[in-house]
Structures are given as structure tokens and as C-alpha cells.
């Protein structure tokens, strides 16, 4: 076994324990995901309490929690796309020639915009074809699909804004941005 660098270990632990009060990147667009997350937390806490403390679980909590988890994924994607925090091809920024970074970035932005727009279109189609109701409560299941569709269209909107921003930048600005992004690992 190798020698453990105590300073490096302390640095890593310090990074893990760092707590910040900086919420400057939270915008109005993040409020829906925070509300969905808060509702999901309350539903799951209620489910846990009734199942393990009262030993008599509420039947509707599992189904509703599942639907809120779906909404959390799609509504949360809005914040990810807005902040540019989605998974992207970081290896391309490091290993491809610098001259190809702007075209690759434009291609990724176009693909992302098209993906979200098409996903929204499919969600609307699914919502229009769905006639069933949520079993636990008397709400059409299509309501969930319309929420997903709206989230996908918002993602497409923010991806389009990112594309327009990339198109306005010079090649050197894109290279600097992508190489700095790759170097920090963020």
C-alpha cells in the first residue's frame, strides 16, 4: 500500500465539507423544481411515517411520489439546461483540434435544441392520446404528460438561447470557454 498524502486527504475532506450560502445562481426558473422537490419530499416523508411508524401506509403516496419524481426529472432539466450543466462531450474539448471546437459546440447545441423540441412534441402527442386517470386521485394522467411537454419546450428554449450565444461568440472565445470548462472539471 502506498503512502497517503495527509495534506491532500485533508484538502479533499475540506472540499467535501464545504458548505456555502451562495444561492446567486438560483433564478425564478428554479422555483418550479424547488416546489416539485418540496412536494415530493413531503409525500415521501408522509409515506415513510405512515408505513414505518404507524404501520399502516397510505395507498396513494407511492403512486403520487412516482409521478412527482417524473416531474422532478423533467422540470429539473430546465435548470440544468439553463445553467449549461447537462452532460456534454468534454473529451471533444480536450482532444479534438482547437479549430473544430466551435463547430462541434454548435452541432451539440443544435442537437440538444432539436432533441428537447421533439421530446416536447412527443409528450404533447402522448398527452392527447391518453384518456386514463391517475388511480389514486381523480386527475387525468395527461396532466403529467403536459407538464413534461412544457418542461421539454422550456429546455428547448434555453438550449436555443445557448445556441444563439455560441453563434455570437468568436472561435477564440468558444475555445477559451470550453478549455477552461474542461480544465476545471465543472
100 vs 86: which has the higher pLDDT: 100
Task: Region of 55 please: left (phi>0), alpha (psi -120 to 50) or beta.
Answer: left
Please provide the average confidence, as pLDDT, over all residues in the chain.
Answer: 86
DSSP labels, 57-92: --THHHHHHHHHHHHHHHHHHHHHHHHT-S---HHH
Place of cell 416539485: 36
Which of 3-17, 142-156, 162-176 shows the lowest per-residue confidence on average (mean pLDDT)? 3-17
pLDDT in tens, 34-77: 999 999 999 999 999 999 998 888 888 899 999 999 999 999 99
Which of 5-19, 77-91, 94-108, 139-153 has the weakest average pLDDT? 5-19
pLDDT value of position 1: 47
Residue 186: pLDDT band with limits 50, 70, 90: very low
DSSP 140: B
Domain ranges of the chain: 28-184
Percent of the chain surpassing pLDDT 90:
51
Phi/psi for 140 (5° steps) reads -60, 140
Per-residue pLDDT at 3: 58
Amino acid at each position: 500500500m502506498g503512502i497517503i498524502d495527509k495534506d491532500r486527504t485533508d484538502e479533499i475532506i475540506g472540499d467535501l465539507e464545504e458548505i456555502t450560502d451562495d444561492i446567486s445562481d438560483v433564478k425564478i426558473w428554479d422555483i418550479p423544481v424547488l416546489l416539485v422537490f418540496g412536494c415530493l419530499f413531503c409525500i415521501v416523508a408522509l409515506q415513510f411515517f405512515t408505513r414505518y411508524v404507524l404501520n399502516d401506509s397510505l395507498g396513494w403516496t407511492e403512486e403520487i411520489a412516482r409521478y412527482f419524481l417524473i416531474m422532478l426529472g423533467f422540470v429539473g432539466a430546465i435548470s440544468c439546461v439553463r445553467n449549461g450543466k447537462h452532460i456534454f462531450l468534454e473529451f471533444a474539448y480536450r482532444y479534438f483540434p482547437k479549430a473544430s471546437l466551435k463547430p462541434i459546440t454548435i452541432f451539440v447545441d443544435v442537437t440538444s435544441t432539436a432533441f428537447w423540441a421533439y421530446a416536447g412534441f412527443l409528450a404533447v402527442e402522448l398527452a392527447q392520446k391518453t384518456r386514463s386517470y391517475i388511480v389514486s386521485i381523480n386527475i387525468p394522467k395527461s396532466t403529467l404528460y403536459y407538464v413534461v411537454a412544457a418542461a421539454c419546450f422550456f429546455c428547448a428554449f434555453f438550449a436555443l438561447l445557448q445556441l444563439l450565444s455560441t453563434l455570437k461568440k468568436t472561435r477564440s472565445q468558444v475555445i477559451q470557454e470550453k478549455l477552461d470548462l474542461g480544465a476545471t472539471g465543472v
